[in-house]
Structures are given as C-alpha cells and as structure tokens.
C-alpha cells in the first residue's frame, strides 16, 4: 500500500500531526512525505492510512493499493 499527497494540499497540518513518522511540514506548512512521494507503508498500518485520508479537508491524501 502506498501513500501519496496531491497538489490539493493547503497545509492544514492534521495529517503530519497524526503520522509524523511518514509526513512532515515544509516551511510554509504544506505536507511533504518523508523519503519520497509516494511512499510504501506496511499493510498493518491500514487503519492509520484510513485516518489520514479522513483527516484532510482537501481530500489531498490518497492511498494506493498494490
């Protein structure tokens, strides 16, 4: 499963507070994925992935199933 951030991000910052291990803020507050975009995340992190999708007011986070 891969996690991807689209250009819809407006920098609300809810995702990187929920998953700082994968996501961080740039200097303006927009999200960047640590270690490249998209990033592979383990299957046992599915619940977290669903929370991330559901926490973004811009629908900017996408989970891609392998």
Q: Which residues bind another protein (CB under 8 A)?
A: 10-14, 16-18, 25, 27-29, 50-51, 53-59
Backbone angles phi, psi at 43, to 5 degrees: -60, -30
Q: What's CA 27's distance to the chain center, in Å?
A: 17
| SS3 (DSSP) at 42 | coil
Q: Residue 30 or residue 38: which is nearer to another protein going by CB?
A: 30
Q: Which is nearer to another protein, 11 or 64 (CB)?
A: 11
Q: Which is nearer to another protein, 10 or 64 (CB)?
A: 10
Minimum Å distance from CB 45 to another protein? 14
């Amino acid at each position: 499963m891969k996690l991807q951030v689209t250009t819809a991000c407006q920098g609300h910052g809810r995702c990187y507070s929920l998953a700082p291990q994968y996501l961080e803020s740039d200097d303006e507050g927009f999200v960047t994925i640590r270690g490249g975009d998209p990033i592979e995340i383990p299957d046992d992190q599915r619940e977290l992935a669903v929370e991330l999708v559901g926490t973004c007011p811009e629908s900017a986070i996408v989970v891609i199933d392998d």
